[in-house]
């Protein structure tokens, strides 16, 4: 009897394509990739000072200038001595972010080498976990510190609609929701959580196993554990990094604001950045108007970050005048549209993490993601190699951790835009 593929099946190996396994999970996060990063976030917290007014003891008359150098707020009603600069201190604390993985010792050994597996189980697991953490950074650099994923535009039974924010949803996620249209409200059902069972990315919808939190249209979504159960607007109570929405909020701070110990309402532009509604203007006209406003306050923005939807609208408005450029960052790269502003070329990047309807005009050298140890600490601070044997199980556990926060050293050089719909 002739040997066939059926008769010698037990002798044959499975042969996989020579191409690398493609990970379909998103990995391109332009703002996070381009954001300056710096270690050294030691101590309990870092005090970050901003001068928002220079000394005002000046006059064409010498006697007046000299006298004003000694005038204080009691005599004039002005906050702070006229003859000195006014500084504020932002006392910024670290936040934490964790990602863990677990692997059986047998699987670890069986997948080593070309004969056993086309991909080491440990490599796939560790790289995937690291990418999950990186994607979380990509989202959080835009955020307020609460870790919001997006807002529900419709809830029908166990089917939730979230629009473009579907890019943030993954099968198996456990989500919690705030009560109503404010993300700072308390969590429904004490944050019990709803588990995502399927995702329809083209429709912008996902299905949960059960609507255990009684989520409703208008609620905001969060990953379980990323925010306190109680409602809060206090940045010190928030568990995620203070992203661009925290430092340069869409809604200007008002009296009584307390952001890292500072009331920014005394000079909103210089302490909380700029905001401009260009929804009534044509796309290109709006951006040029915004760049001029930033230049007036001494800003030199080099980058604009917006959603893919809003970047598409700009491209359509520019038509044949689109001027594209490719920016490489390590092993990845991003295409941008170039605009001419009063202080030179500005690059517009599409970022899946950017909320639809808004754009961020940023001077990146005024920002920093500051961290303790490495940006991602792989659990080897004690010299154990980063993996530890699990107690009473034939498994190893790996841990990744971030300790740090985001800083803005010159808020006035940055702006958030409300875009045309």
pLDDT tens profile 38-58 = 999 998 888 988 888 888 888
Instruction: Give the global pTM.
Output: 0.86
Q: Name the pLDDT band for 340 (thresholds 50, 70, 90).
A: confident
Spatial contact of 196 and 171, defined as CB atoms under 8 Å apart: yes
pLDDT tens profile 156-179 = 999 999 999 999 999 999 999 999
Model confidence at 72: pLDDT above 80 = no
In the chain, domain spans = 53-84
- Token digits for 74? 């009691």
H or E element in which residue 102 lies: strand 95-104
Note the pLDDT of residue 360. Answer: 97
Model confidence at 393: pLDDT above 50 = yes
Cα 297–Cα 293–Cα 421 angle in degrees, nearest 5: 140
Among 243, 339, 356, residue whose Cα is nearest residue 291: 339
Model confidence at 406: pLDDT above 90 = yes
Lowest mean pLDDT among 176-180, 272-276, 326-330, 417-421: 326-330
Note the pLDDT of residue 343. Answer: 86
Spatial contact of 204 and 161, defined as CB atoms under 8 Å apart: yes
The burial of 162, by beta-carbon neighbours within 10 Å (0-12 exposed, 13-18 middle, 19 or more buried), is given as buried
Among 356, 358, 310, 364, residue whose Cα is nearest residue 337: 310
The arithmetic mean of pLDDT across residues 205-232, rounded, is 96
Percent of the chain, pLDDT > 90?
54
pLDDT tens profile 265-301 = 999 999 999 999 999 998 889 999 999 999 988 889 9
Lowest mean pLDDT among 5-14, 86-95, 272-281: 5-14
CA distances from 390 to 201, 204, 393, 396 (A): 37, 39, 6, 5
Lowest mean pLDDT among 108-117, 196-205, 375-384: 108-117
Spatial contact of 142 and 414, defined as CB atoms under 8 Å apart: no
Spatial contact of 346 and 291, defined as CB atoms under 8 Å apart: yes
Cα 325–Cα 327–Cα 329 angle in degrees, nearest 5: 175
């Amino acid at each position: 009897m002739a040997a066939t593929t059926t008769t010698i099946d037990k002798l044959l190996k499975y042969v996989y394509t020579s191409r690398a396994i493609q990970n379909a999970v998103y990995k391109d996060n332009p703002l996070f990739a381009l954001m300056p990063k710096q270690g050294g976030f030691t101590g309990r917290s870092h005090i970050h000072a901003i001068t928002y007014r220079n000394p005002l003891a000046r006059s064409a008359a010498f006697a007046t200038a000299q006298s004003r150098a000694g005038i204080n707020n009691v005599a004039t009603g002005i906050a702070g001595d006229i003859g000195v600069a006014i500084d504020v201190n932002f006392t910024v604390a670290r936040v934490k972010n964790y990602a863990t993985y677990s692997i059986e010792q047998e699987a670890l050994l069986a997948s080593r080498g070309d004969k056993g597996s086309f991909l080491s189980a440990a490599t796939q697991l560790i790289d995937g976990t690291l990418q999950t953490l990186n994607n979380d950074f990509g989202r959080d650099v835009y955020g307020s510190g609460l870790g919001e994923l997006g807002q529900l535009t419709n809830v029908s039974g166990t089917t939730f609609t979230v629009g473009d924010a579907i890019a943030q949803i993954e099968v198996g996620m456990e989500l919690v929701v705030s009560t109503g249209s404010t993300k700072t409200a308390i969590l429904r059902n004490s944050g019990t959580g709803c588990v995502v069972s399927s995702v329809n990315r083209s429709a912008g919808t996902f299905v949960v196993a059960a609507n255990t939190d009684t989520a409703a249209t208008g609620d905001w979504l969060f990953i379980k554990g990323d925010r306190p159960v109680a409602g809060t607007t206090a940045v010190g109570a928030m568990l995620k990094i203070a992203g661009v929405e925290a430092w340069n909020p869409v809604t200007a701070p008002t009296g009584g604001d307390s952001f890292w110990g500072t009331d920014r309402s005394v000079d909103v532009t210089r302490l909380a950045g700029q905001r401009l509604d260009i929804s009534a203007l044509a796309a290109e006209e709006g951006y040029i108007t915004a760049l001029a406003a930033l230049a007036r306050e001494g800003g030199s923005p080099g980058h604009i970050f917006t959603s893919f939807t809003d970047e598409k609208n700009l491209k359509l408005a520019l038509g044949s005048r689109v001027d594209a450029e490719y920016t490489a960052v390590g092993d990845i790269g991003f295409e941008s549209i170039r605009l001419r502003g009063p202080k030179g070329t500005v690059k517009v990047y599409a970022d899946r993490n950017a909320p639809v309807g808004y754009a961020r005009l940023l001077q990146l050298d005024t920002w920093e993601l500051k961290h303790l140890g490495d940006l991602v600490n792989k659990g080897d601070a004690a010299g154990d190699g980063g993996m530890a044997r699990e107690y009473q199980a034939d498994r190893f556990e790996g841990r990744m951790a971030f300790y740090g926060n985001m800083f803005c050293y010159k808020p006035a050089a940055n702006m958030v835009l409300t875009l045309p719909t």
